[in-house]
Amino acid sequence: INVKNELLKRLFEANGSPISGQEFADEFGLSRTAIWKYIKEFEEEGYGITSIRKKGYVLTHSPDRVNAANIQKHLKTKMYGHNITYYESCSTTQTIAHDDAQSGAPDGTLIIAEEQTAGKGRLARPWSSAARKGIWMSLIIRPSLMPQQAPQMTLVAAVAIVRAIEEVVKIEATIKWPNDIMIKGKKITGILTELQSDPDRVKAIIIGIGMNINHDMEDFPEEIQSIATSLKLESGETIDRSRLIAEILSFLELYTHMYEKHGFSPIKLLWEGYSNTAGKRIKAVMLNETIEGVALGISEDGLLEVKQDDGSIRGIYSADIIVEK
Ligand code: BTX
């Protein structure tokens, strides 16, 4: 157990009443000076803490940070998000998550950063990750799935994220196959699903989620200002990122278990309700070819089915989709 996190969690949970430094010190076999040092560290990190004589410490203010204590005070999951590694800044949470997964990090471990200096999308494209504006996180999960069932986790994650947005922001977002979440035609979220696997068994799936939350337009680099938006820009509200993260983890845990137990059909139904791709005329740009046609929907394997002009139907694994007018 991380004593410093535990102390912060207790301060949150006390909800304005004092936590006795003496009792906490006794419980964890620490000196009162050690507790006092943690309190000083919290203050340096932007927390407001008042010390009340003979009663203890009261949390009066917490900074807008997506650290373990802020997320865990909202958490309702069994596993996801119980183990959190937090960075003020890192290159990319995705690489750290891969290393941690390899060295045995438990199911549901979350790697999260306020800022990424080298955030990445698919095909090593850059992902802009402004400090304290968004959610930049990688979740390590260990579902009992076969390797060929792993790509669909992108769609599972997309449904979970859209549901969580509905819950917290009361705004409607749509899913653009395979890995984008959009509001009014602009991108607010990208998902990057990666796999560590044996031939017949998934060892870990790393779900990278990048979400634009409290950005103003000038927080985006110029080259993406016409294609990107944030929840704040669309709703007019500043969003509690930690609460949204806890909500995403809840839905993700629920839907992953649903997928493990009942297969892809129930996820497909949910997904179709949120997708704006089906029925539209599209261009699908793949690595070595581009095809055109009408998007029909997704198959049981999560492929996008496209009816080409000659009447033939193609199932696509991954592509950039351009929706035609
Ligand atoms: P993608 O390849 O579908 O999208 C990447 C493209 O999206 C870029 O080429 C650029 O045009 C555009 N883009 C870049 N940054 C943003 C942004 N902030 N908002 C909207 N559009 C943008 C999508 O890849 C998958 C992204 C996953 C990001 C997460 S963040 C946590 C984890 N760590 C990490 O490095 N990646 C994942």
- Going through the chain in order, the beta strands assigned E by DSSP cover 48-52, 56-61, 84-87, 109-113, 134-141, 174-176, 180-183, 186-198, 201-212, 281-285, 290-298, 304-307, 313-316, 320-323
Dihedral through CA 244, CA 255, CA 125, CA 175, nearest 10?
Answer: -80
pLDDT in tens, 286-321: 999 999 999 999 998 899 999 999 999 999 988 999
What is the CA angle 83-251-1, rounded to 5? 15
For residue 201, report the distance from its CA to the centre of ligand 1, in Å: 28
Which atom from ligand 1 is nearest to the alpha carbon of 209?
29
- pLDDT for residue 192 is more than 80: yes
Higher pLDDT, 121 or 300: 121
Which atom from ligand 1 is nearest to the alpha carbon of 129?
18
pLDDT in tens, 152-175: 999 999 999 999 999 999 899 999
For residue 152, report the distance from its CA to the centre of ligand 1, in Å: 18
ipTM of this predicted structure: 0.99
Task: Give yes or no for residue 193 CB within 6 A of ligand 1.
Answer: no
Task: Give yes or no for residue 93 CB within 6 A of ligand 1.
Answer: yes
All domains of the chain in start order, with CATH:
3-61 (1.10.10.10), 68-274 (3.30.930.10), 281-323 (2.30.30.100)
- pLDDT for residue 272 is more than 80: yes
CB of 145 closer than 8 Å to CB of 259: yes
